[in-house]
Structure 1
């Protein structure tokens, strides 16, 4: 019987990184940002704490990776870069609404922990702000026109705010409505924000 092929050094590294990330997601979801420590993550992943720092650099960077604060921002280009200048704003809106629909069907525990932490802990809040600022810059490049950055911020904050109201605040008006109805009502408002000219500017 032949032996299974041995993993390369790169493959072993990727497996270790993935195991650390899985442990971090589990602990951040259960304990929150402040109570999760590098030592606890290392213990759960069965590695030395120094290895966690070597792969991820800091607790803040590990949290950012574990939380996965990326947002869909429309179609990717052929080179795989994120949304930016030249992207289709309509596709961007549908992508945001699709992601929102998934969130309203139930956020993973890690995502809920992320939302709670970014609202209550300064370091986690700073990580979220940096991530969202990056998304705003990407989306504003796709929009163009007057107030592109402001309109991009409103687009993203609207969808994030609905997710917070639905999943964290558990507002009855949102919880009682099907996700499809929420996204249906949001679509015209988001289309207004992607317009290069507002009605009063026309």
Structure 2
């Protein structure tokens, strides 16, 4: 027998799946709560009760934390971050790209997505050594966003390379940012430290 909590969780999952698809296909402005509810086999009022607003639903549907918690030693964190970026470069992250498009035209959606991304960056920074951990975590986030946008949206020359070729260049940079810090014992890739 299914409990109410299980029913709610299944309904929320259906709504999020429909929202990801519709936001990815139509963008934030052209996607309505009614369309999401219809695609999820639900009621618009229920969507609003579960998620509060279109912006909050969008933030959850397009949230970056699909990577899950990033934790462990600096080497483990570097491996987790490079694996997550490799996955984003391999499969076009439709919901995340919809979020990025909407961030430039819809301030409320931008704030919701920024809040989710900031929470993930702070979670990573809290585990990195060094006083500049927040700065390094921010650079990792910017590098990730830049590569995903440049490969999937802008389609810059050179970024149509295989994910493995791209990570051969970006992976060592991420590793350096995770494992090195001001005053660290080893300079970044043989360069003189700051």
Q: In which range does the TM-score fall when normalised by the shorter chain?
A: 0.7 to 0.9
1:132 aligns to 2:117 (yes or no): yes
- Counterpart of 1:161 in structure 2 is 146
1:190 aligns to 2:185 (yes or no): no
Gapped regions of structure 1 (runs ≥ 5): 1-5, 74-81
1:49 aligns to 2:44 (yes or no): yes
| Structure 2 residue corresponding to 1:15, chosen from 7, 10, 14 | 10
- How many pairs does the alignment contain? 186
Matches within 5 A, 1:87-102: 87-102=72-87
* Aligned-residue offset at 1:128: 2.0
TM-score normalised to the size of structure 2? 0.85
- Over the aligned positions, Cα root-mean-square deviation in angstroms equals 2.1
- Counterpart of 2:96 in structure 1 is 111
- Counterpart of 1:24 in structure 2 is 19
* Aligned-residue offset at 1:201: 5.5
1:71, 1:96 within 8 Å by CA — same for their partners in 2?
no
1:106, 1:167 within 8 Å by CA — same for their partners in 2?
no
Deviations 1:92-116 (A, max 9, x none): 1211111211122221432322222
Q: Distance in 2 between matches of 1:103 and 1:83?
A: 16
Runs of 4+ in 1 over 6 A off after TM superposition: none
Q: Distance in 2 between matches of 1:137 and 1:182?
A: 26
- Counterpart of 2:32 in structure 1 is 37
SS at 2:91's partner residue?
Answer: coil
Please say which structure displays the higher CA radius of gyration. 1
TM-score normalised to the size of structure 1? 0.82
Q: Distance in 2 between matches of 1:15 and 1:190?
A: 37
